[in-house]
């Protein structure tokens, strides 16, 4: 057991990141468990504690009498320095046991820019970074989360990956482990991995060997073991009412990024935005019933003491029974001063009326995501909203008393022109003018936040090359020059980070040596602007003899094999190709949730179906 001295805790920022013993933290007897599982998010405590997926898995695993599950996050720079000085290895927050002593270390891979932190945490734990260097005394390193639909750049650091939703499959993994260990661990590490690989949703990289053609391009996967499946499909929860959801989340002693209750309304989104990986990887839509949500809301408030609840999903305003459920929640918590919020709003007046009702306790700004500045480009990306929709929504908002509006856009989308960029400034100005039209005076603030587009696997835009850094920066300058109203604030992302993310998102297994080299040269916390070391990464590519532009800027041939297609969320290549063609034709595809089936392939591939409670009631 690790002991932190007062000298260490007094010398670092926010020591409560490392002291544990928070409200609802689960503490068990190590010796009574047959499986010891550490759940990790490779980022600082405040970010890791905000992740809903890990909260759910923590409750699932600790709900088993045979399993001991604890948490670990990346120590901040100051704490890492003290740990290295004192020879303190990475430890769990509940029991302060060394992470190396656990049977599993599971990382949630939320975005590509935390890969260097994975290596840093492994090294801090005393666990060999490369899978090939581990022996029977080391934990199994597991990966999950949104990045699992192209894990090839980090495959050489992980023993296996869990694809898709983990509530059921993670218990199946534990069952296999407990049986394997009880049988005397036949076959060692490889023996367990072989048994795990037979489970649906488990990808063991060591059982696959990437092939390359004479041009150096990926040409396919060679299967090395009979347990390896040609395509590993994600796991999907079919009944959201029956599956375990977090009811007693750990309550931190310090502020975290999302310091509130998160009530998950449903999973999936079928609006079909062509840039959105989540929109394809989380299909199909499966709603929780409003009765189950009311029950969970009551338990969460009672078990945590929070007075703020976020109704979360990819597109929360699309929950079919949202109006009635919000009325029920207000009735249930009348007099308790619990506030409710929607993290995403549709661009329509219904959302404004609902937001007005929900923010009576605590009022904040409104956020909309037009994504593009012109209708032409919104049609390319299948956004399905118009300028008129937005102006009607903000008019309703201004009439209800709002003064602050945030608009999200992307830059560098396929087929984008300078006219589309200037259209962002023009649209923001129209919102400002609408406020003057409604109120007869100035006084609103419109913040436009513009991210750099990154092509992602399993989207219709997976074949498009990414805009070079210099072009991103030119377009950012162009937009800034066309914003002339002081009521408009302009925030934009660091193009250097997006370019690197673009290379990792569509990379193959050869990039593992680049990630390793960058980490050895000092890369970590790359998602943090003040810690990102752009030169280190580009030098790592050069040292490894790899051209970064072949991964981020190169437009893929529509017929070439792609290095991520053997780990699938179920969406078919044929569907993605049709959507690619429709994008170039500026044609829309309707939402299949209640409209025509778009034949994406997910439902038959996963033996799943849409669960829409409004449709059930009709």
User: Among residues 335, 245, 330, 235, which one has the least CA distance to residue 289?
Assistant: 245
Q: How many residues does the chain have?
A: 618
Question: pLDDT value at position 347?
Answer: 78
In a domain, residue 208? The reply is yes
The answer to the question of residue 135 being in a domain is: yes
| CA distance linking residue 200 with residue 136, whole number of Å | 24
Q: Any idea what the CATH number is for the domain that residue 49 is in?
A: 3.40.50.280
Mean pLDDT of residues grouped by 10 in the chain (618 residues)? 93 96 97 98 98 98 98 98 97 98 98 97 98 97 97 98 98 98 97 98 98 96 97 97 96 96 94 94 95 97 95 90 92 91 73 74 74 97 93 91 93 98 98 96 96 98 98 98 96 96 98 98 96 97 97 96 97 97 96 87 94 70
Domain membership of residue 219 (yes or no) is yes
Where does 182-269 show beta strands of DSSP type E? 202-203, 208-212, 218-223, 232-233, 261-264, 266-267
What pLDDT sits at residue 159?
Answer: 98
Q: At what angle do helices 387-399 and 418-439 cross, to 10 degrees?
A: 30
- Decide if 489 is inside a domain: no
Is 129 contained in some domain?
yes
Number of domains making up the chain: 1
Residue 163 lies in a domain: yes
Burial label for 85, CB within 10 Å (0-12, 13-18, 19+), is exposed
Segment holding 492, helix H or strand E: strand 488-492
Is 280 part of any domain?
no
Buried b (16+ CB within 10 A) or exposed e, 158-180: bbbbbbbbbbbbbbbbbebbbeb
- In the block, tokens 């092509």 appear at 455
Q: Judge whether 335 lies within some domain.
A: no
pLDDT, position 309: 94
Domain that includes residue 104, residue range: 6-233
Indicate the pTM of the whole model: 0.95
What is the structure's pLDDT at 275? 96
**509-525 residue pLDDT tens:** 999 999 999 999 999 99
């Amino acid at each position: 057991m690790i002991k932190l001295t007062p000298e260490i805790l007094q010398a670092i920022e926010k020591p409560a990141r490392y002291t544990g013993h928070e409200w609802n933290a689960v503490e068990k007897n190590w010796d009574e468990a047959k499986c010891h599982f550490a759940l990790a998010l490779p980022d600082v405590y405040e970010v890791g504690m905000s992740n809903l997926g890990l909260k759910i898995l923590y409750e699932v695993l600790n709900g088993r009498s045979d399993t001991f599950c604890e948490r670990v996050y990346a120590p901040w720079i100051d704490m890492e320095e003290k740990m290295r000085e004192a020879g303190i290895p990475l430890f769990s927050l509940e029991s302060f046991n060394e992470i190396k002593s656990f049977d599993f270390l599971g990382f949630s891979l939320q975005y590509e820019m935390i890969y260097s932190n994975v290596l840093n945490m492994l090294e801090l734990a005393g666990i060999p970074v490369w899978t090939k260097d581990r022996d029977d005394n080391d934990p199994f390193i597991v990966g999950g989360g949104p990045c699992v639909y192209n894990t090839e750049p980090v495959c050489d650091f992980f023993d296996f990956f869990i694809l898709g939703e983990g509530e059921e499959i993670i218990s199946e993994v534990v069952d296999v482990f407990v049986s394997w260990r009880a049988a005397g661990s036949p076959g060692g590490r490889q023996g367990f991995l072989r048994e795990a690989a037979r489970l649906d949703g488990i990808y063991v990289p060591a059982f696959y060997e990437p092939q390359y053609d004479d041009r150096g391009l990926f040409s396919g996967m060679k299967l090395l073991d009979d347990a390896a499946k040609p395509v590993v499909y994600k796991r999907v929860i079919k009944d959201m009412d029956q599956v375990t959801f977090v009811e007693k989340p750990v309550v931190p002693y310090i502020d975290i990024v999302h310091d509130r209750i998160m009530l998950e309304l449903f999973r999936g989104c079928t609006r079909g935005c062509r840039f959105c990986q989540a929109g394809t990887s989380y299909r199909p839509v499966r709603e929780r019933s409003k009765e189950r949500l009311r029950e969970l809301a009551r338990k969460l408030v009672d078990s945590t003491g929070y007075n703020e609840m976020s109704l979360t999903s990819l597109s929360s305003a699309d929950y079919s029974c949202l109006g009635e459920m919000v009325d029920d929640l207000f009735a249930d918590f009348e007099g308790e001063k619990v506030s409710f919020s929607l993290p995403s709003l549709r661009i329509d007046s219904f959302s404004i009326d609902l937001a007005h009702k929900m923010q009576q306790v605590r009022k904040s700004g409104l956020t909309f995501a037009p994504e593009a500045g012109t209708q032409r480009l919104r049609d390319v990306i299948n956004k399905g909203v118009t300028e008129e929709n937005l102006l009607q929504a903000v008019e309703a908002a201004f009439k209800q008393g709002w003064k602050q509006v945030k608009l999200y856009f992307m830059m560098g989308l396929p087929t984008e022109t300078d006219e589309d960029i200037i259209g962002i400034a023009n649209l923001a100005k129209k919102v400002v003018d609408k406020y003057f039209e409604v109120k007869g005076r100035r006084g609103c603030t419109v913040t436009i936040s513009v991210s750099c587009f990154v092509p992602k696997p399993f989207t219709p835009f997976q074949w498009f090359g990414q805009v070079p850094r210099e072009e991103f920066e030119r377009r950012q300058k162009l937009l800034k020059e066309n914003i002339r109203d002081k009521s408009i604030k302009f925030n934009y992302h660091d193009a250097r980070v997006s370019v690197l993310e673009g290379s990792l998102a569509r990379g193959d297994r050869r990039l593992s040596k680049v990630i390793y080299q960058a980490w050895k040269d000092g890369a970590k916390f790359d998602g943090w602007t003040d810690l990102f070391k752009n030169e280190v990464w580009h030098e790592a590519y050069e040292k490894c003899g790899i051209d970064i532009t072949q991964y981020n800027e190169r437009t893929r041939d529509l017929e070439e094999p792609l290095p991520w297609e053997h780990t699938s969320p179920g969406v078919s290549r044929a569907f993605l190709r049709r959507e690619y063609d429709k994008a170039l034709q500026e044609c829309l595809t309707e939402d299949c949730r209640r409209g025509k089936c778009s034949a994406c392939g997910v439902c038959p591939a996963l033996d799943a179906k849409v669960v829409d409670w409004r449709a059930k009631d009709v």
